[in-house]
Amino acid sequence: DIVMTQSPESLTVSLGERATINCKSSQSVLHSSNNKNCLAWYQQRPGQPPKLLIYWASSRESGVPDRFSGSGSGTDFTLSISSLQAEDVAVYYCHQYCGAPTFGGGTKVEIK
């Protein structure tokens, strides 16, 4: 199985500042059928299920604010929140869906 490793485990950012989360996969997640990276990002608030934010590494899901953006390719990926809002406090997970799906261990984002 592909192992997903996230860093940092937790992040404290001031309101309006940028938050950056990293994710590394143990092998490439480039999908052979379309040459896209099968990498997604989820947001999970306490007591809620994960919410899809980003797919194909950089495509924003419908309704997701444009302050959320994804980048990267191959084995290294990043989720950025350009201007942190109070409602962005949550745990964020990266997820690969190329083979048997796997998730990262999560990054907890808090307000400074």
CB 61 → another protein: shortest distance, Å?
7
Which of 59, 83 has the CB closer to another protein? 59
Indicate the residue type of 20. T
- Which of 70, 61, 107 is closest to 88 using CA atoms? 107
Q: Which of 38, 79, 84, 90 binds another protein (CB under 8 A)?
A: 38
Q: Which of 49, 63, 86, 112 binds another protein (CB under 8 A)?
A: 49
How many amino acids of this chain bind another protein (CB under 8 A)?
23
Q: How do beta strands 107-111 and 10-13 pair?
A: parallel
44: tokens are: 């999970």
Does 81 participate in binding another protein (rule CB under 8 A)?
Answer: no
Cα–Cα distance for residue pair 25/39, rounded to 1 Å: 9
- Report the interface residues with another protein, using CB under 8 A: 31, 33-34, 38, 40, 42, 48-52, 55, 61, 93, 95, 97, 100-106
